[in-house]
Amino acid sequence: MGYKTDWFNGIFPALVTPFTAEGVDEDAYRALIRFVLPHVDGVVPCGTTGEFSYMTQEERKRAIEICLDEVDGQVPVLAGTGCTTTRDTVALTAWAREAGVDGALVVAPYFLKPSFNEVYDHFQAVDGVGLPIVMYNIPQCAGTHFKWWTAEGGLLDFDNTIGIKDSSGDLPFMEALFEKVKGDVSIFVGHDEVVQAALAAGADGAILASANLIPDLWQNVYRATQEGDLKTAQEWQQKVQKLVRIVVRCGANQACKEGLRLMGVDVGDSRHPIVPGGAFRREDREELRLQLEALGKIEKSSVTYLVGDKEVATDLFATHHTPDPVTDWTMKVGEGFAGPPFQELAHVDLLIGLKDGPVGRAIERSLTEWGEDRGLRTIAGRPETLLVPTVTIRTAEQRKLFERAAAGVKLAIELSIEDGFLPEPILDDIALIVNAFVHPAASIAKRVEFNNYKAARHAIRKAIEGRPVVEELKAEKAAARHPFRYAP
């Protein structure tokens, strides 16, 4: 082997790429690098999460130049240089060598699904550039899955290949890599959901999309594993597991970008065809927000509520969309959606307003004129909350399921009081009307309750914050107009 791999271990974020209409957003990119730099062992510009396949060659070069300049030798820079053709990959890798990167992350040639021998020939040509190379296996995107014999041959035959990044999530394949090449090259896990298991099994580090958001927490997993404290490492993996599941399975590029924006690091949106509200849905963002809060990545701050003649300060998890002060309590509207499965999905329309205003009067009139014979019922006194079924309740089983939906809505209200969005001093002044959907064919009671909890909690926040705001609606217009989108 021509190179030592001492530098290739630890936690490397696969950096997202901020864009302007003209190209790479240099200021935002530098801010992102400064954000992650204290917590990482290296950085990867122009990887999959960096949307390299949506960038021109000149844009990729510029992103790498910016990254090298901002990092300034503090950690290694492993630049993504893989292209669809061998010719272009060799050319970009040669350019990256001259630019001063520490190594190149080279994805398997993708789209046309070359054979294993053709993959071998491709990497042999790239290896000839003379830059440390990390082979990148991501079959869910490239359409080509390394087999151990391909990896073993390439990694041990080539002079400049120092490692492999495996994003397949295929742990038996990774175990085969440990058997064949462990100790000769570095082996990195690239699938966020199995990081701790891979590290414990012998991986040298991780290159991760979610390390844009939580690089310090991934260091907790890595260091605990290195120290042999598997219990602590497992506990940290479990703490971050829901967040990384959302990122990995729900449009990682846009998920990371919106998560960073919630944390105060604005890196814009992904390039088309990815759009806000598409692969990363609105309900996914609300869940990601809750996970970032739980992990301490969005901190509470003081916000003033002006309700009638009251001025109430409350501590809540505010983001860039949270108004301060929160005013105009005549009628606030919120909507939430949560699923799957399909039959147990929940859709909540919600009104919040003054008890002596239109919302309070609507509750009084509804109970007087229709009553509980139509399924209407008051489920809380502080704040007064009327629950209304979207679908007429016709059977005893439907009534039982609606009771579970009511329990979910009540929990959402309780936690909204606890986290400051419905502060205690205003509970006697406001009222809620919650229109809840329970599918007539639903059968899994626990899921009905859980989905209604999620939908109601999101709806309460949206009502308080007046969301979606105009900027969100404009950004989501492409997703919202799609004829196959579920848009309640």
Query: So which residues are the catalytic ones?
Result: 136, 165
Exposed, middle or buried, 6 (CB in 10 Å: 0-12/13-18/19+)? exposed
What's the distance, Cα to Cα, between the start and end of the chain in Å?
58
Beta strands 78-80 and 103-107, pairing class = parallel
Cβ–Cβ < 8 Å for 448, 401: yes
**Separation between Cα atoms, residue 350 and residue 462, nearest integer Å:** 9
Residue 472 DSSP code: H
269-285 exposure pattern, b = at least 16 Cβ within 10 A, e = fewer: bbeeebbbbbbbbbbbb
- DSSP per position, 442-457: ---HHHHHHHHHHHHH
Amino acid letter for position 272: H
Residues 311, 315, 319, 321: what is their CA dihedral angle, to the nearest 10 degrees?
A: -20
Q: Which of 349, 252, 309, 266 is closest to 50 using CA atoms?
A: 252
Number of other residues whose CB lies within 10 A of the CB of residue 471? 10
**Separation between Cα atoms, residue 316 and residue 401, nearest integer Å:** 32
**Separation between Cα atoms, residue 11 and residue 284, nearest integer Å:** 25
Contacts of 233 (CB under 8 A, 6+ apart): 196, 199, 200, 220, 221, 222, 224, 225
Residue 14 DSSP code: B
> What are the C-alpha distances in Å from 259 to residues 11, 12, 15, 80, 287?
19, 18, 13, 23, 10
**Separation between Cα atoms, residue 83 and residue 150, nearest integer Å:** 19
Cβ–Cβ < 8 Å for 49, 252: yes
**Separation between Cα atoms, residue 485 and residue 488, nearest integer Å:** 9
Cβ–Cβ < 8 Å for 289, 243: no
**Separation between Cα atoms, residue 315 and residue 321, nearest integer Å:** 15
- DSSP per position, 72-95: TTSS-BEEE---SSHHHHHHHHHH
